Structure 1
Amino acid sequence: MLLNLENSKVPMKLIFLLSEELKAKPEQIRLTQELTLDESRPYMGLKGTNGLFGSQEWWNNINQGKIPLQYVSGVITRTYVAGQDPSSVDNCFSLLLDDGSIREESIYDYINKEDKKLFQIGSKVEIVYALDELKRRDSNGEKCYLDIVLEMAVSLKPIE
């Protein structure tokens, strides 16, 4: 586990592990890897610089620090419905980060119903992302990265 929840000042629950999600949905690995390997789509998908998504090589490169990680921590300021689905169930949240910036994030459909209840205004959230290089470059020719959620934890109750 990459998140160090034992040292958290508030009780946290790990609610998402990409490694477990991929075990349950191996098709996601196959589709992502196919796009990486598809030379007819030079601007779509991951570049595969540090291994194909979800492969043992990819996980090893995460653990060895070859794929950069980004740790984000903050407090939920709002939850809301995003997208065209007329569902009345909130599926996104705004996270006030420790540096004062706001980040928008999703509440994944596959998170169990009880854990979804933890996403409340004032709840603390910790996320670790892998920054995996994309095939495409930005308008200045610089590398672009996809931030892939590896782990997510939420406080057991609001802290504010």
Structure 2
Amino acid sequence: MSKVQAQVTAAAPNDCANQANSVAGLAHCLIAMTRKYAPHAAVGMHLTCWDWQGNTQACAKDYAILGAQNADFLVADVSDRDAGWYAEPAHGSRDMFWTDQKAAAELGVWKTMAESVGKPVVLWQIPVGNMAQNNTLNHYQDDKVDWLFAHMDQVANAHIAGLLFGAGQQEL
């Protein structure tokens, strides 16, 4: 993160002159600008760990370099669509439903990230489908809402501070 170049000081010389010209410098600058221009606002950093199952510790290290400890919270998206949508052959026949094992793995990553930077996690883009849906347009099945509410002790233990629900990507 500190080696990936970004023209931070040239883009915002009045606010970011003391930041490195890197992705890490950009993240530090954005947090500093939030503190300066919106001192009463909370600022979060979105978690994007592509290899989260295999290398959570590397992701935690990257987020420390980015300055996540200076944000107020981390944000993680659960899914951009209901699991029933993904299960359709036209969408890859993927199994995106949560088993206890799958949910525990995701909660484990979020907990590790929260503890590594000392900030809570807000989950967003939690699919709003439920298992009573009929897997038609805008009525796909999903089990995440039920799972999360049935396991609030595990959710809290993972330092999840908020749950935000949304339909995600819409199909026309």
Q: Which has the larger radius of gyration?
A: 2
- TM-score, shorter chain, exceeding 0.5: no
> TM-score, length-normalised on structure 2?
0.20
Structure (1/2) with the larger strand percentage: 1
Q: Which has the higher contact order (CA 8 A, sep 6+)?
A: 1
Structure (1/2) with the larger helix percentage: 2
